[in-house]
Amino acid sequence: MRKFFLGFIVYALAELALLIAVGQKIGVLSTLLLIMATSVIGIYVAKNKGMNSVQKVKNTIAKGEAPGPALIDALLNFSGAVLLALPGFLTDIIGLLLLMPISRKLFQPIAFYWIRKKMKKGQFIIVQR
């Protein structure tokens, strides 16, 4: 818990420093407009890519294939869109990396590892109906 709290404080300070630096370079109004624009884009992407990702998962299941890669792709797309919708430039950068297909491929093994680790600990359960 202590590491999480420390990480959150470091993240908040880095985000604030970046906002101040960008605000000094391009101006306060431009910075605020940029933050609002990325939030609107993030919400739009979450809606559209989210529906496409769900459809891909359904199609994969309908074919009788394991939906693992499609689910990971949907998870990363949704996470990227949510990070893009959150105010701040660090979250925007990470969100854009998760949304771009080339860089998303780099995050897929990390997501698979994280889910496997949670499943082994019993913290992540898949229910089949």
State the chain's mean pLDDT as an integer. 86
pLDDT digits (tens, 9 = 90+) for 100-125: 889 888 998 988 888 888 878 876 66
Residue boundaries of the structural domains of the chain = 36-121
Spatial distance between the Cα atoms of 42 and 83, rounded to a whole number of angstroms? 7
Q: What's residue 20's pLDDT?
A: 93
pLDDT value for 128: 58
Q: What is the pTM of this model?
A: 0.79
Digit-coded pLDDT (tens) for 60-97: 888 888 777 888 888 888 889 899 999 889 999 999 99
Q: Among candidates 102, 94, 7, which has minimal Cα distance to 42?
A: 94
- HEC string of the chain equals CHHHHHHHHHHHHHHHHHHHHHHHHHCHHHHHHHHHHHHHHHHHHHHHHHHHHHHHHHHHHHCCCCCHHHHHHHHHHHHHHHHHHCCCHHHHHHHHHHHCHHHHHHHHHHHHHHHHHHHHHCCCCCCCC
Residue written as tokens 């939030």?
Answer: 39
Q: Is 27 left (phi over 0), alpha (psi -120 to 50) or beta?
A: left
